[in-house]
Structure 1
């Protein structure tokens, strides 16, 4: 029996929040994994925030209702991942909020590992993150290099528990926050983050920077691991370059929100883009994305998809937001 045993009429020790949009087939697997946790089911609650799904998400949730001591289905009609995440922590009933992607599968000791860190590590972390291992729908292609792994939300910080370095943070597929810290920071910025099929991001970056500025620390637990689905549609150079473009666009929007001047952003983005253009091979222009247009590259060009092309896409995304956004 776990040392974290609880009873149903007490406040749950931790809330697992799954924000979902039209991924009922993957959500089913995530919920199934949560029924297999080493922590007693009465010690945690599961909140599924349905962000306007049109598939059978509600039916899947109803089928799991009786399998958890504490389970809630919450419908959030306003589209947006940040909105759904904020809804999740605001309706939660525990001091810790564990965000799990709807296409991620936690290991059996996931929740118990999280609570162990919060109960034993001092000073108490504001946030905990763990490994995010890929579940490839098709075999990993040879052209997926280590530098591309971040675009697939892959994270492996090693086998030793530790504080994240200054330039490291947990990632949203597997991240846990103290509820009091979310409340103090105002949660996630709803101008940022995925909305439907959009690849806009940055909400985690802004929140983590806010928490760090308040003197908080982020902790890595190798025992709090999840496996994250990588669909075949994303294992393609077109998606990767689009992902890189929108990452740059998102960073520009974050910079604007935190108060960087328009003049500074325009000058720096122009200089950085020109510098990359001068440094890179002309072939890299074949991948240069245009805002809201598909990228005209195909499988035969996979060999050209290297660090330089992704960096250029990122710079172009930042530049596009500053000048045309």
Structure 2
């Protein structure tokens, strides 16, 4: 077990995926780094607490530095906020705080590349590619769908990143943001990461990208079904509108966004035809239309809660 203070802390919010978490933790044990790092896992299942047991067993067996805690208040943003808060409290000298999900694994050079990019570019937030591994052979429509794509960028500065499944935040992020937490209104809808990064950009924080820091996300069969994918497109539209609305409050903001929704809906039909002509895939062509429909639904108060789990008996 290392006695050196960690330079980075890897945070993992986890909810009822013990087998996935085992893979995630195993990938962290393979990291090729020349600095100390710690692991903080937040079990968001206050009843079963399987992630707590998995993590404690892993830390005992490997001797790696880290701790696990339970966040009983269910919600993705509650778990993420708890993870970052615990990491900063336990390891105040750490310079970087990273996040990986419990359905993902990290390549052996992931952590080294994320930290190196942050230091070389002197940026506040770093992202990296997320490659999807499907549980069964994917159809062409699934493979080409934007929801399963990743930013295709070279290592270097970028305007902004969008997802927290492969990200690094420097200590400066928490010191400079007026509200350095994920907004809990996105707990069961998703999109707390997009809102967080949007606020970070507005605060003047700088973003970088490292193409070499690869994360693999395992996609279960149910998330390859057209119904799930189309609902996810709707949800993305709802998220986008919610973030826009937070930036433009009041009556004037509502009027401007309704105009934007009308224009978006019209353009989405043109985009859908263009996408279908290019790909020949109806599922892919539904994406721009459903994004716009999601915006309209959000504007009249209709939302979704895909991440709200039913209580276990």
Normalising TM by the smaller chain, what interval? 0.7 to 0.9
Q: Which residue of structure 2 aligns with residue 171 of structure 1?
A: 163
1:140 to 138, 141, 145: 138
Question: Which consecutive residues of structure 1, in runs of 5 or more, have no partner in the other structure?
Answer: 1-6, 285-301
Contact 1:131 1:226 in 2 (8 A): yes
Contact 2:124 2:172 in 1 (8 A): no
Q: Which residue of structure 1 aligns with residue 190 of structure 2?
A: 201
Q: Aligned residue pairs: how many?
A: 286
Task: Give me the whole-angstrom Cα distance separating, in 2, the residues matched to 1:310 and 1:116.
Answer: 36
Question: Using a 3 Å threshold, how does the CA distance of structure 1 residues 24 and 262 change in structure 2: closer, same or farther?
Answer: same
Question: How much has 1:59 moved relative to structure 2?
Answer: 2.1
1:107 aligned onto 2:96: no
1:324 aligned onto 2:313: no
Q: Which residue of structure 1 aligns with residue 69 of structure 2?
A: 74
Question: Which consecutive residues of structure 2, in runs of 5 or more, have no partner in the other structure?
Answer: 303-313
2:84 to 81, 89, 93: 89
TM-score normalised by L of structure 1: 0.80
Question: How much has 1:194 moved relative to structure 2?
Answer: 4.3
1:45 aligned onto 2:34: no
Q: Which residue of structure 2 aligns with residue 265 of structure 1?
A: 257
Contact 2:17 2:103 in 1 (8 A): yes
1:312 aligned onto 2:305: no
CA deviation map 1:233-268 (0-9, x unaligned): 111111111000001111111122223422222333
Question: Using a 3 Å threshold, how does the CA distance of structure 1 residues 270 and 57 change in structure 2: closer, same or farther?
Answer: same
Q: Which residue of structure 1 aligns with residue 214 of structure 2?
A: 225
Task: Give me the whole-angstrom Cα distance separating, in 2, the residues matched to 1:272 and 1:155.
Answer: 23
Tell me the C-alpha RMSD between the 2 structures: 2.5
Task: Give me the whole-angstrom Cα distance separating, in 2, the residues matched to 1:18 and 1:75.
Answer: 12
Q: Which residue of structure 1 aligns with residue 8 of structure 2?
A: 14
Question: How much has 1:60 moved relative to structure 2?
Answer: 1.1
TM-score normalised by L of structure 2: 0.83
Task: Give me the whole-angstrom Cα distance separating, in 2, the residues matched to 1:277 and 1:119.
Answer: 44
Contact 1:113 1:221 in 2 (8 A): yes
Question: Using a 3 Å threshold, how does the CA distance of structure 1 residues 9 and 303 change in structure 2: closer, same or farther?
Answer: closer
SS in 2 for 1:98: strand
1:214 aligned onto 2:200: no
